[in-house]
């Protein structure tokens, strides 16, 4: 962090707040990093952004009055990631968030199982999804978040979490089965 | 139920987010709709691929360290913590020289009639040591019912643990420490932006009133005995604050 950041970060936590922060928020550092890594798609940027998000969490901690600390932190991480993306990779955020569920032939579980067993291919397929699809999948499948938590983290109405997940999973299936790894890379 | 809406409901079912009525309704539908049955199988397969993939990425150690450092810098009372390492070394060296030159000359914490079983130097050492990163508390809690049992089995006595948040002295945790060669309990309180250590150890001496304040190197302390326990509260707060806490503990 730069010197100015340290200046901004000074004296924001009282001693007892620090203890609470370590108890409630710090245990979710893995979750914070994992979400950043999947939103930004590389580890170095994710480390910087996750660090910035933790600093913001420190600053806002007085405003946290109990409840779901993980969801509270992930909301900050997500916002920090989007701010970073807007500044550094605005093109990525312009990908359309299509509301249509495409008609597509059913993929057999066996076909998917084979495609999904390839770790590289699964990673690329996830990374080709627009961030807004990627984040609901990461929160649901990696983080095990409930719909309520996903709604509060991503600021989408709880009633639309189910359809957002439906679209995201459909896109992931398509990316896994309809494109070879090479094509998936080119789409980036 | 049309199959289109089922395509969405299927995900609520997969995620266990449907209420009992809708889940039962969907299960009935599933018996007659081959397309949904296949789709559900595919989603389950995809889910297990994702969960078995090991794609979850834990925070690297380097990030953990940076966040710790940021926290130290952001913590209000940690003025001492922000002193660079070389200054700590200089301070330690200075303390060592002072200690070795005047070890026997240093007075006990109080006059001989009521002397504490440790010297002022040992007391200040223990306090300063506790302020170094990661040393303040072994058990972090503002709940006296968490802190008290934590000491069980770690010491040959049961220290009295009380929280005085309402009075402006928030209990933030406890730790084991060594003072004057004895194992002691340290209770840690926060007073505004300052840390107060209260060292507690058993004694066979009779009760004493709260002794007048001791002062050295900018630290103040108050010492007393009460019901078989020796207490010493030390901090950089004003003596009036220390005395207030001592009175709260002395009852």
Q: Do B17 and A123 touch (CB under 8 A)?
A: no
Contact B122, B106 (CB under 8 A): no
Q: What residue ranges define each of the domains in chain B, with the CATH number in brackets?
A: 3-52 (no CATH), 108-249 (3.30.200.100)
3-state secondary structure of B198: strand
What percent of chain B shows pLDDT beyond 70? Answer: 87
As a whole number, mean pLDDT of residues B39-56 equals 88
How many residues can be counted in chain A?
188
Is 0.90 exceeded by the ipTM? Answer: no
Contact B42, A174 (CB under 8 A): no
Of the partner residues B38, B48, B60, the one whose CB lies closest to the CB of residue A108: B38
pLDDT at residue B106 greater than cutoff 60: no
Separation between Cα atoms, residue B191 and residue B76, nearest integer Å: 11
Q: Give residue A81's Cα distance to chain centre.
A: 8
**Closest-approach residue (CA) in chain B for A59:** B74
Strands (E), chain B: 139-140, 170-179, 182-191, 194-202, 214-216, 219-226, 229-235
As a whole number, mean pLDDT of residues B8-29 equals 92
Q: What residue ranges define each of the domains in chain A, with the CATH number in brackets?
A: 3-93 (1.10.1740.10), 109-187 (1.10.10.10)
User: Which of B4, B39, B66, B75 best tests the A interface by mutation, with the highest count of A CBs <10 A?
Assistant: B75
pLDDT tens, residue by residue, B162-194? 999 999 999 988 999 988 888 899 999 998 888
Contact A80, A52 (CB under 8 A): yes
CB of B2 within 8 Å of a chain A CB? The answer is: no
Name the most confidently modeled range: A57-66, A109-118, B3-12: A57-66
Q: Do A16 and B172 touch (CB under 8 A)?
A: yes
The closest of B140, B128, B150, B120 to B215, measured between CA atoms, is B120
Of the partner residues B35, B45, B55, the one whose CB lies closest to the CB of residue A123: B55
Mean of per-residue pLDDT scores for chain B: 84
């Amino acid at each position: 962090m730069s010197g100015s950041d340290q200046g901004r970060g000074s004296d924001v936590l009282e001693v007892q707040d620090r203890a609470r922060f370590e108890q409630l928020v710090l245990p979710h550092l893995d979750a914070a990093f994992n979400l950043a890594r999947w939103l930004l798609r590389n580890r170095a940027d994710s480390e910087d952004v996750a660090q910035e998000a933790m600093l913001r969490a420190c600053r806002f901690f007085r405003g946290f009055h109990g409840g779901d600390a993980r969801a509270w932190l992930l909301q900050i991480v997500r916002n920090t990631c989007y701010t970073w993306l807007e500044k550094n990779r605005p093109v990525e955020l312009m990908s359309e968030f299509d509301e249509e569920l495409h008609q597509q032939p059913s993929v057999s579980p066996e076909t998917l199982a084979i495609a999904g067993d390839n770790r590289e291919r699964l990673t690329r397929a996830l990374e080709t999804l627009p961030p807004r699809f990627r984040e609901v999948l990461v929160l649901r499948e990696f983080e095990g978040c409930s719909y309520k938590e996903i709604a509060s983290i991503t600021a989408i109405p709880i009633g639309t979490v189910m359809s957002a997940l439906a679209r995201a999973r459909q896109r992931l299936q398509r990316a896994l089965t309809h494109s070879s790894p090479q094509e998936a890379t080119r789409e980036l | 139920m049309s199959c289109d809406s089922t395509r969405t409901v299927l995900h609520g079912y997969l995620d266990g987010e449907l209420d009992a009525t809708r889940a039962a309704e969907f299960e009935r539908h599933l018996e007659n709709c081959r397309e949904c049955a296949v789709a559900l199988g595919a989603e389950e397969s995809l889910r297990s691929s994702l969960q078995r993939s090991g794609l979850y990425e834990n925070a690297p150690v380097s990030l953990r360290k940076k966040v710790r450092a940021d926290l130290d810098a952001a913590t209000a009372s940690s003025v001492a913590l922000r002193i660079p390492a070389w200054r700590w070394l200089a301070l330690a060296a200075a303390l060592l020289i002072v200690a070795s030159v005047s070890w026997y000359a240093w007075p006990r914490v109080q006059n001989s009639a009521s002397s504490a079983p440790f010297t002022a130097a040992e007391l200040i050492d223990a306090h300063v040591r506790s302020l170094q990163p990661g040393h303040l508390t072994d058990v972090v809690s503002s709940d006296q019912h968490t802190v008290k049992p934590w000491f069980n089995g770690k010491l040959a006595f049961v220290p009295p643990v009380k929280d005085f948040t309402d009075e402006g002295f928030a209990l933030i945790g406890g730790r084991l420490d060594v003072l004057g060669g004895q194992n002691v309990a340290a209770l840690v309180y926060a007073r505004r932006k300052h840390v107060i250590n209260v060292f507690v150890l058993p004694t066979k001496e009779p009760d004493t009133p709260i002794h007048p304040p001791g002062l050295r190197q900018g630290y103040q302390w108050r010492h007393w005995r009460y019901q078989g326990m020796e207490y010493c509260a030390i901090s950089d707060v004003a003596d009036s604050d220390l005395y207030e806490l001592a009175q709260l503990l002395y009852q």
